[in-house]
Amino acid sequence: MHGSVWYFVICGLAVVVGALYLRRKLRLSHQFQNKLQQEFVALQQEKKIVYDFLHDLGEAFTEEIDREHLLRIIVTCARKVTAAKGAAIYLWNVDRDKLIAAIISGAFPPPLKVDNIVADQLAARQEDLEAFLTLEAIPADSGAVIAEVARSGVAVHAEQADADNRFPWFRQKVLQTETYLAVPLHYREEQLGVLALANREEGKSFSRADFDLIKSVADQAAYSLQHAKIYRQLTEKKRLDHDIEVAREIQRILLPASAPQVEGFNCAAMNIPAQEVSGDYFDFIQIDEHRWGVAVADVSGKGVPASLIMAMCRSVLRSKAPGNTSPAQVLREVNRQLYPDIREDMFITMLYLIMDGSGTITLARAGHEAALLCRDHFRHIEAIEAPGMALGIDAGDVFDEVIKDVTVNLSPLDTVVAYTDGINEALDAEGNEFGQEQLKAVLQAAGPQSVDFLVKTIVERVQNFSSGHPQNDDITLAAVQRSE
């Protein structure tokens, strides 16, 4: 009897123990399922954040790219996927001797030590902290972790940054660094800067998974930043190309479309820029009823700066030339007015001649190539030497004394050719100059035809000579021939 009682007691205890064990197993199973569910939800959220990040990056490239907007997309994603309290992107400056904060987001602790008084102010207002860090560059050779990562290209994961002496200590809690991630932003071989995150919500440390994920975000961010840079450069180039095209069109309008009909003379001229705009200049200006002026000029340098000086020179010359029959006096006045506005490293050479209906020409030369006088049906060619110096070098004391008029009487079909050094100094593929002797040969061969034919032939011969070598200077020339 006693044995039966104990048997049932033991069986009952076994059932109870089994039930308790099963209940515990079920509870552990539910906890495990809840944990899996939480991890699944976390992964889904992380996946959505990364998807949104990639989507936002794509959207940023559909219109004109705002770099600050692009940077904010990057730091927003980085903070969301890691629950970071603060994030920053530091980029190299042009000289690559310091890192500049391109964007600061949240409570990002200063990478370098700050005076306590200043630190108190930064801790009080997040806006002040962001403004301060944006203005405070990090020297490339400093001991800051951001500088270290930028120099080496090796990422840093500091789980316990508060025990790492690379991070400055602050008495203000909000400025202290507890946990830290810093990854390089590099595109192929080019180091762009650093993406850094500091401190996590709820006081946790950044995990290895956070570290790996941020490196992936940084790779995509660097790719996007580099392409945004290229996009901006292309946009700027298009804008610049448009501006240069407008400048070229304006310059084309400033140059005479054709030579005028001048009593007793036949005239022709041509300008071929080496770049989109030219520093060379030619012009025909009516002096009075019986006289016309012809100018050929060359501004030092090329491109837009030279073209602007050329436009100034044209304006001044046209204001001084009418009614004045002395080329030297006109150039004196032009020099006096231009000198204060020309940089020290720039000057203008000019040859200015006046055709008289009686068959004479009077010319003055401001440091320019000497004009060539062709007589006896181009069988005899000589340079017309005239004293002078370039415009814009001297205020007037020396210039006014040096420059002189030279007058030449022309017989029928005698021709005067003025040109810039883009003709005689043109180079072939071997680096040989076209030279004055070849120019004289072209004059003798083409001159007897007409001045229009002559000018076109000279330009064609120079361009053929330079075939295989880029045009290194503007080409400009003008020819005046006394009619029969």
pLDDT tens per residue across span 262-319: 999 999 999 988 776 667 889 999 999 999 999 999 988 777 777 788 888 999 999 9
What does the pLDDT look like over 181-224, one tens digit per residue?
Answer: 999 998 887 889 999 999 998 888 999 988 988 888 888 888 87
Q: Is there a single domain that holds both residue 224 and residue 266?
A: no
What secondary structure letter does DSSP report for 427? B
Is 246 inside any structural domain? no
Q: Is there a single domain that holds both residue 316 and residue 447?
A: yes
For 249, other C-beta atoms within 10 Å of its C-beta total 11
Is 330 inside any structural domain? yes
Q: Is there a single domain that holds both residue 154 and residue 196?
A: yes
Distance, CA of 133 to CA of 413 (rounded, Å):
77
What does the pLDDT look like over 335-384, one tens digit per residue?
Answer: 999 999 888 888 999 999 999 988 999 999 999 999 999 999 999 999 99
Q: Which CATH number is 340's domain given?
A: 3.60.40.10
The total domain count for the chain is 2
Domain end position, chosen among 177, 201, 233: 233
**In contact, 141 and 86? CB cutoff 8 Å:** no
**In contact, 371 and 351? CB cutoff 8 Å:** yes
Q: Is there a single domain that holds both residue 142 and residue 278?
A: no
Q: Which CATH number is 51's domain given?
A: 3.30.450.40
Q: Is there a single domain that holds both residue 202 and residue 296?
A: no
Q: Is there a single domain that holds both residue 188 and residue 272?
A: no
Query: Domain range holding 366?
Result: 255-482
Tell me the whole-structure pTM to 2 decimals.
Answer: 0.60
Is 260 inside any structural domain? yes
What does the pLDDT look like over 358-371, one tens digit per residue?
Answer: 899 999 999 999 99
Arithmetic mean of pLDDT, 412-439: 92
**In contact, 73 and 56? CB cutoff 8 Å:** yes
**In contact, 314 and 293? CB cutoff 8 Å:** no
Q: pLDDT band for position 261 (50/70/90)?
A: very high
Is 418 inside any structural domain? yes
Task: Give the residue among 437, 429, 431 at the shortest CA–CA distance from 464.
Answer: 429
Distance, CA of 30 to CA of 282 (rounded, Å):
93
The values of phi and psi at residue 316, to 5°, are -70, -45
Q: Is there a single domain that holds both residue 214 and residue 270?
A: no
Is 30 inside any structural domain? no
Q: Is there a single domain that holds both residue 278 and residue 379?
A: yes
